[in-house]
Amino acid sequence: MTRILGIETSCDETSAAVLEGKGDQVSQKSLVILSQDVHRVFGGVVPEIAARAHLTSIVPVVERAIEEAGIKLDDLDAVAVTNTPGLVGALLVGVSYGKALAFSRGIPLLGIHHMEGHLFAAALEHRDAVPPFTALLISGGHTLLLDVEAWGKYRLLGATRDDAAGEAFDKVAKLLGLPYPGGRYVEQLAREGNPKRFHFARPMVRKNALPQDDDYYAFSFSGVKTAVLNAVRGSKDIEADKADIARAFQDSLIDTLVEKTWRAANAFSRQRVVLGGGVACNRTLAAAMRTRLEAEGDTVFTPSPRLATDNAAMIARAAFYRFEQGERAGLDLNAYASSPIPGLVAA
């Protein structure tokens, strides 16, 4: 039985979790997530504030995770920490603490890619959310469509060429006068909207598109954001129109995500589809994905909101795979703002 402590500080959540198990039979013993609400004042994450908040939170958050797991530090077999991608100052807090803890206890250290963690999140709650599957990772900073042949073997099919899906939600929320982070507020407002009043194009979705086209799996949301901006500026009564605008925006984004995911699952004959990242919390998206793909005989797996957001449990879960592959990080482990997911194979 292996026990791994996961640490996540890539953005504005300080998180720690303890998992134990072996292979795909891994159970979550604890998960602590401390969100930094201060960023709502600024309408976005301020990197320097985020890093300083992690500094004050990392020790009590880890201590709480160890306590809730009912173990002691000496019971750990390894420490896993997110070291890329993310805000470098924030990442360095977790990396520095993780290195010190691993060294002091004489146990292995692992550096984990944040987006690989999102690939593993659904598997913590759904035993069948294992490869092979099609994965759609959608967050504030990323929109990635992958074919997952096996753990550690990922084929990148498409990514956003500009705004990430979560970023688009946040920017549209700001245009509509909604709080940050904007995803849930846009979804709530869209439920009240009339789907027929406004219509925004589905970017890079052509009926005659072919798999060999360079935009077949790619995403672009900046144009939809601009369409929302023009609709807001052209409105004579924004309070009366904003629910309808929110609905049109969300419909455009969801239709695009669903179509691209269907294309990938169909092209590679995958019968499992896994969503990950903060935008996977969007219930309307999950419902639309199931309606389209389950009609094809596929199963769609989504993590609960707690595991869809940035959290240390998914980092520890990814670490189990890396640990069992014999991977270890040295004390020279560093933090990087961006880097490819390890294990990428040619599309």
Q: What does DSSP assign to residue 159? A: E
Share of the chain residues as helix, strand and coil, in percent rounded to the nearest 5 = 45, 20, 35
- Give me the residue label for tokens 């500094």: 55
Q: How far apart are CA 338 and CA 83, in angstroms?
A: 10
At 141 the pLDDT is 87
Using DSSP bridges, classify how beta strands 78-84 and 25-35 pair: parallel, antiparallel or unpaired: unpaired
At 311 the pLDDT is 97
Q: How far apart are CA 43 and CA 73, in angstroms?
A: 38
CB-count burial class (<10 Å; 0-12, 13-18, 19+) for 120: buried
Q: What does DSSP assign to residue 138? A: E
Q: Write down all domains in the chain, each with its CATH number in brackets.
A: 2-119+308-345 (3.30.420.40), 131-302 (3.30.420.40)
At 317 the pLDDT is 98
Closest CA to 182 of 191, 170, 190: 170
At 47 the pLDDT is 84
Mean pLDDT by 10 residues, the chain (347 residues): 97 95 93 84 81 95 98 97 97 98 98 97 96 96 95 96 94 94 94 95 90 93 95 94 97 97 97 96 96 95 96 98 97 96 83
At 347 the pLDDT is 63
DSSP 3-state assignment of 313?
helix
Buried b (16+ CB within 10 A) or exposed e, 40-70: eeeeebbeebbbbbbbebbeebbeebbeebe
> Is the Cα dihedral 53, 276, 165, 157 positive or negative?
positive
